Amino acid sequence: MAKPAVPQAPSEFESVLAMLKAVGHESRLRLVAILSSRQCSVEELATMLGLRTPTISHHLAVLREAGLVTLKRDRNTHLYRLDDVGLTQLRKTFRSSGQLAGLVDESEFGNWDEQVLQSCLSGRKLQVIPSSGRKRLVVLRWLASRFELGQRHSERRVREVLTRHHGDAENLTRELVAARLLQRTRDGHYLRVEA
């Protein structure tokens, strides 16, 4: 007999997503606003918002599951209040772009540069040179990587290398220099500049 799977704790991304979904509804956001200053029962909240008690109970369940609201029993009454721990976690996540960036693993989405190159290359030949600035820079950086850092390259050598990848080597050379990926020396040679 197989053992039942142990449920895993949600990741930080899943927790933040649940919180945002929870407050992404007008009534739930109003509940959070009310509960930020006091604790209330379902009946009190229903009266304040003009909603039925089952509707309020549903919204409170969503907020509790997201970690934004806590429940306290007072005899026969359930009192709800804002959970400062959950709110602090949400606030901390949005404090800086570094915190936000830590929510996702970029490897899940693939490498953007690789995707751009795949759409422009057929084998090692450039079929398309993008007009978009960011995509064009990806292609130019790829072309510049054909040259070794710190080594001087003659104009003829630069033309040979670029012609392997595209027919307009002269224009590409100018673009590589303009993008500061290749630098022309006083004696007419080219150096690859580290981007």
DSSP state of 149: B
Q: 144: which residues sit within 8 A by CB, 6+ positions away? A: 176, 181, 182, 192, 193, 195
pLDDT of residue 150: 82
Domain ranges of the chain: 12-101, 112-192
According to DSSP, residue 123 is labeled T
Give residues with Cβ within 8 angstroms of 10, minimum separation 6.
18
pLDDT in tens, the chain (195 residues): 566 665 666 677 787 888 888 888 999 999 988 998 899 999 999 999 999 999 999 999 999 998 899 999 988 888 999 988 887 877 777 776 666 666 666 555 557 788 888 899 988 899 988 887 888 999 999 999 999 888 899 999 999 999 999 989 999 999 999 999 999 999 989 999 876
- How many CB atoms are closer than 10 A to CB 24? 9
Q: What is the pLDDT of residue 19?
A: 83
d(CA 9, CA 78): 27
Domain 12-101 has CATH 1.10.10.10: yes
pLDDT for residue 6: 58
pLDDT of residue 5: 61
In the DSSP assignment, the letter for residue 191 is E
Per-residue pLDDT at 4: 62
pTM: 0.52
Q: 3-state class of 7 per DSSP?
A: coil
